Structure 1
């Protein structure tokens, strides 16, 4: 609610200043230089308020889908009719055979209800999630680790709405790699190999806490970072990035490395 109020105040303050002063000054300047045709200058001046309102309304709608304070509710997934029990059992058996320990079944309510089974690995000190959003057929597995300086590494075997994640939800220190359709064993192997590489390249240490409280904190910090970045991002630029996403290579679509390459090159 606080973010909405502040956003509205900024938007309407800008619109007032624009209508009362700025629009007239800028229009006079554009007309005086005679470089841009007058019709285009008038169109530009008149379009600006609509663009600002669009940015405000859509951004508030996006922000409302990302809770500032998440609420985790423990549940029993087997008792829920909408759960794909066959797929959940496959992931559960696979992850437990790799040394993961099941720690909780959760409901996470944001814009939609998300159901997750959470695991931790006592040896490798990482989390695994099996995630389903009811109403969607896809169930995917995510293996993640938290590092120092708010870095995180997430390897997934699927990820719905990759274009939206890329355009609006990517974080500079939140690495996401999607390995479509691979088995949990390969997902874990790839995760550990990359985790070791980034720790070495950036001189980072692994955060060893794998309690359910640490998992809650990891997810909450990720959501907070996403909200903060989204509040500063242009919706129109994000929509352009979503449209351009289709032209990226499969490798570019399947991974977001954030600031890692730039910082690693600097340290190297």
Structure 2
């Protein structure tokens, strides 16, 4: 509620200042250019404030749904309705057979509730998450590793709202690869193979801390970097990217390599 009030105050103040001062200056500047027709100058002057308002207001409202401080609450999945416990148990058995250790069940409440079962691997030094939003049928697994210099690698067997993830939630050093329909064993194998490749190509070291504290710290750092990236991201460009997402190839939809490809070529 507080965010909405502040947003409305900003919007009204911006419109007042624009109409009273800024619009006149910009209009006069455009008219002085001579080569732009006067009618076009007036249209540009009237469109600019709405574009700016939309960018800023939409961004503030979007960011308000992504809190700056993550809050994980320990929970019992069995006590939450609409949780697919069968899928969670299936993933748990598969991950534990691969050497993962179950460390916690967590609840994350933001714009919607999400629950996660967290695992760590004492040999491969990575985390695994099994996640679901109650009421939604999708349960998916993600295996992730943290590398130095703010790099991270996440392999997932599915992903909700891939278009939104691609348009707004991707980061230059946050690699995401989605492999639909693979087993946890195949997911882990692909993750480790790619992780070794990027470490070799970019001369990066693995961050070996797999404690619960490290998981919280990595998640918080990732959240902070995500909010910074969102603030720099154009909402309009993001919406265009979402609209064009369906036109991408399956390979383009399923992986985001960020700056890795460019940097690997440069180092090669």
Same-fold call, TM cutoff 0.5 = yes
Contact 1:74 1:104 in 2 (8 A): yes
Deviation sequence 1:97-129 (CA, Å, 0-9, x none):
111000000001111111000000011000000
Segments of 5+ residues of structure 1 without an aligned counterpart are none
Which residue number in structure 2 is paired with residue 252 of structure 1? 252
Which residue number in structure 2 is paired with residue 102 of structure 1? 102
1:22 shift after superposition:
3.5
Which residue number in structure 2 is paired with residue 197 of structure 1? 197
Which residue number in structure 2 is paired with residue 80 of structure 1? 80
Between the aligned partners of 1:71 and 1:156, the Cα distance in structure 2 is 23
Q: Taking structure 1 as the reference length, what is the TM-score of the superposition?
A: 0.93
SS at match of 1:86: helix
| Two-structure CA RMSD over aligned residues (Å) | 2.2
Q: Taking structure 2 as the reference length, what is the TM-score of the superposition?
A: 0.93
SS at match of 2:247: coil
SS at match of 2:36: coil
Assess, with a 3 A threshold, how the Cα gap between structure 1 residues 192 and 3 changes in structure 2: closer, same or farther. farther
Between the aligned partners of 2:35 and 2:215, the Cα distance in structure 1 is 58
1:80 shift after superposition:
1.8
Which residue number in structure 2 is paired with residue 137 of structure 1? 137
SS at match of 1:246: helix
Aligned 1:158-237 pairs, distance under 5 A? 158-237=158-237
Between the aligned partners of 1:16 and 1:169, the Cα distance in structure 2 is 33
Which residue number in structure 1 is paired with residue 59 of structure 2? 59
Q: Which moved more, 1:96-105 or 1:1-10?
A: 1-10
Deviation sequence 1:71-113 (CA, Å, 0-9, x none):
1111111222221011111100110111100000000111111
Between the aligned partners of 1:2 and 1:231, the Cα distance in structure 2 is 19
- Determine if the alignment matches structure 1 residue 266 to structure 2 residue 266: yes
